[in-house]
């Protein structure tokens, strides 16, 4: 009888965990990044601007894939699109998806090695993210937002105190890649740096050592 109660309790706990996170390990293979464009690097540099208004149109998975690749994709020898001090790669990238084709509303973690997304949350967090960013409506209204986080200890282990600066610089490189790639896809974005770190961590559901540096809303212009 006691055994049956314990088994029942365990089953109940499992059901509750599943309800909160229905597909904890669901991974989505992203389309292969495209390496050719009609927009030159020079044009993108010249015309890139921060954009805070977006069309009410879902983002395609192909474009989300391309943006993630530009931000932190693997380009050869395990190295990435953005430079990193000592090639230690301190950044972890997340996507808060709201209106995206072939991507359910939720939070996803980008896995550069397999160029795929791992679902970590199963609901639309865009409004909460906007509130955490002091009500910047481009965050709550964009079809999706990319969030750049960094883990200091990956770099400070080698470079001590300077590692913190290096992590910030790495985030800046990745963000500029997003700006340039977004421009070439006719997607608007803006580097949003004003938000409460702990709220963003909580809303995304990421560990405390993943320090958020930027929320970059994404939407067609």
Ligand X SMILES: Cc1cc2nc3c(=O)[nH]c(=O)nc-3n(C[C@H](O)[C@H](O)[C@H](O)COP(=O)(O)O)c2cc1C
Min. distance of Cβ 62 from ligand X in angstroms?
25
Min. distance of Cβ 68 from ligand X in angstroms?
20
Q: Which is closer to ligand X, CB of 20 or CB of 47?
A: 47
Report strand pairing: 211-220 vs 187-189: antiparallel
Min. distance of Cβ 17 from ligand X in angstroms?
35
Give contact residues for ligand X (rule: CB under 6 A).
49-50, 52, 136, 190-194
Q: Which is closer to ligand X, CB of 103 or CB of 175?
A: 175
Find the largest Cα–Cα distance for the chain: 73
Alpha carbons 138 and 145: distance in angstroms, whole number: 9
Q: Which residue is nearest to ligand X (CB)?
A: 193
Alpha carbons 131 and 174: distance in angstroms, whole number: 24
Q: Which is closer to ligand X, CB of 97 or CB of 216?
A: 216
Q: Which is closer to ligand X, CB of 32 or CB of 49?
A: 49
Min. distance of Cβ 52 from ligand X in angstroms?
6
DSSP reduced 3-state for 25: coil
Min. distance of Cβ 119 from ligand X in angstroms?
27
Q: For residue 76, which phi and psi values (nearest 5 degrees)?
A: 145, 145
Q: What is the DSSP letter of 33?
A: P
Q: What is the DSSP code string of 118-139?
A: EEEE-S--HHHHHHHTTT-HHH
Q: Which is closer to ligand X, CB of 193 or CB of 205?
A: 193
Alpha carbons 109 and 204: distance in angstroms, whole number: 10
């Amino acid at each position: 009888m006691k055994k049956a109660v314990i088994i029942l309790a365990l089953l109940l706990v499992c059901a509750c965990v599943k309800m909160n996170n229905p597909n904890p390990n669901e991974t989505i293979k992203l389309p292969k990044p495209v390496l050719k464009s009609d927009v030159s690097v020079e044009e993108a540099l010249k015309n890139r601007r921060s954009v805070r208004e977006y069309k009410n149109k879902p983002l395609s998975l192909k474009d989300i894939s391309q943006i993630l690749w530009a931000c932190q994709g693997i380009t050869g020898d395990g190295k990435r699109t953005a430079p990193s001090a000592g090639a230690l790669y301190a950044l972890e990238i997340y996507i808060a998806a709201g209106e995206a084709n072939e991507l359910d509303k939720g939070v996803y973690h980008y896995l550069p090695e397999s160029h795929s997304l791992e679902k970590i949350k199963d609901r639309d967090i865009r409004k909460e993210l906007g509130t955490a960013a002091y009500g910047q409506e481009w965050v709550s209204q964009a079809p999706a937002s990319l969030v750049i986080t960094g883990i200091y200890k990956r770099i400070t282990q080698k470079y001590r105190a300077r590692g913190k600066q290096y992590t910030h610089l790495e985030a800046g490189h990745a963000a500029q890649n997003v700006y340039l790639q977004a421009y070439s896809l006719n997607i608007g974005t803006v580097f949003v740096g004003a938000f409460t770190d702990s709220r963003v961590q909580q809303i995304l559901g990421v560990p405390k050592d993943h320090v958020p540096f930027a929320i970059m809303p994404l939407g067609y212009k």
